[in-house]
Homo-oligomer: A and B are copies of this chain.
Amino acid sequence: MFQDPPYRPTDVRMKGFPRRWTVRNCIDWIDKQTPECLSETISLAKAAGRVLAADVTSKVNVPHFARAMMDGFAVVACDTSGATTYNSLKLNVIGQSLPGNPFSGEVSLGHTIRIMTGAPMPAGANAVLPVEHTVINDEVILVQEEVAPGKHVGIPGEDIREDTVVLQRGRQLRPQDLGVLSSIGVSDLDVVKRPRVRLIITGNELLPPGTTPENFNITDANSPMLSALIERDGGEVKHPGIIADNPNSILDAFRTDAEIIVVSGGSSVGQEDHAPRLLAEYGSLEIHGVAMRPSSPSGMGTFDGNLVFLLPGNPVSCLCAYDFFAARAVRKLAGKSADWPHKVITLPLSRKLVSTVGRTDYARVNINNGFVEPIAISGASVLSSTTRADGFVIVPEDLEGYARDSEVTVYLYE
């Protein structure tokens, strides 16, 4: 049923990596790369979560007119001097001001108008008397409390002052930022363009997502996972499909207009691992072999000026290597914080977590009764361990692990 390929023992190159880089080396290398963030102009309605590519300066005051901050009566403040519930003072009501529908006349001594929150203050008035401190009697009100000049009046520019920078370049836009930008009349804005990320999924054993695994083929788990991760980090995924596992097809896929290339599979030193050799020959393979568990057969470099990340095909290693390395580059190029985007929580370990000095570990854990419990797993390759886990703990390279009851930081999966 299966044809064996010709076996040539001299091709065998399976002796492991000549050296291992540390995770720190890798992060330092990523941080030294300086591809520029690109920018584009988009409409305000689509800007949530995007990163400003330029400062935004307001051309207007917000509010741009004096307005009432309470429901009540616009008064000349000195008309209320000495008013109390025992000494109420009369004012004649001569009109009203509503939001978008102001009073066109002037308020002079002895007069007032009804005014609603947000409505423009009428000429002549300089304070708002809250309705609670009045007795309303047809076209006359009785003032029962004194108000100082300026009381309950919002002044122009109180929220945002004309010609000031409202939000700075680099800001990742929050919902309320969109509100502020809208309030100053912004319709389009310059944001950092999402970096394009070319996925190169290789493996002759792989069936495309949506296919039932059969015979000796398995269904690609990495492209749906990586696509979701890249979206999370602000990248735009380019993934035309699984790439045949041969040098020409892979080299061809390296030639892309994407700023970042993420290769899944064939990242090690075996004879079938084409990507590292191609990168070394036609681009630059800067790092290959990392002192970490899982994901040690990871690599990185550049091709035509684009960043390339070589991730192991094993899904857990792929997830881990993406999150340690490629994710950082995607976020940086998206203008976002380089830091891990996960929610974190610090709790004691229920039992010791063993590692080795010189190696960084990515340990999947659960949180039970306020304790962090490392997940017992038979194989590092078990992807379901990352769905059973609540998150992961990183054991840095300078530790042999953590003792029981040590407080550790858990990065929560979400």
Contacts and interface: CB of A to CB of B under 8 A. Distances in A.
Interface of A: 1-5, 7, 9, 12, 14-16, 43-45, 48-49, 59-60, 62-65, 69, 71-72, 93, 95-96, 98-105, 114, 116-120, 131-132, 136, 138-139, 154, 158-160, 166-167, 172, 174-187, 203-206, 209-214, 216-229, 231-232, 268, 270, 272, 313-315, 319, 343, 378-379, 381-384, 386-387, 413-414
A203 B180 CA distance: 17
Given A102-B2, A178-B225, A225-B176, A381 B315 contact: no
Contacts of A180: 221, 383-384, 387
A104 B4 contact: yes
A176 B387 CA distance: 7
A181 B184 CA distance: 46
Main SS of the interface on chain A?
loop
A353 to B, nearest CB: 21
A337 B241 CA distance: 35
Contact of A387 (B119, B177, B212, B214): B177
Q: Which 8 A-B pairs have the closest CB atoms?
A: A100-B205, A187-B210, A179-B225, A185-B212, A175-B228, A179-B221, A48-B228, A99-B205
B95 A7 contact: yes
Contacts of A116: 270, 272
Could you say how many copies of this chain the assembly holds? 2
A137 B310 CA distance: 30
19 contacts: A1-B104, A2-B102, A2-B103, A4-B96, A4-B104, A7-B95, A14-B71, A45-B209, A48-B227, A62-B383, A65-B216, A101-B205, A118-B203, A158-B378, A158-B379, A179-B221, A180-B221, A183-B221, A187-B211
Contacts of A214: 64
B102 A216 contact: yes
Contacts of A5: 96, 98, 101
A132 B16 contact: yes
B414 A172 contact: yes
A9 to B, nearest CB: 5
Contact of A268 (B12, B63, B71, B218): B71
Given A7-B96, A7-B114, A69-B381, A182 B209 contact: yes
A14 to B, nearest CB: 4
Given A132-B15, A225-B178, A268-B71, A185 B158 contact: no
Contacts of A313: 99, 118
Contacts of A203: 99-100, 118
Given A5-B96, A60-B212, A116-B270, 16 more contacts: A5-B101, A7-B93, A7-B114, A45-B209, A59-B212, A60-B213, A100-B206, A117-B268, A166-B384, A174-B386, A175-B226, A176-B387, A179-B383, A181-B224, A182-B220, A183-B219
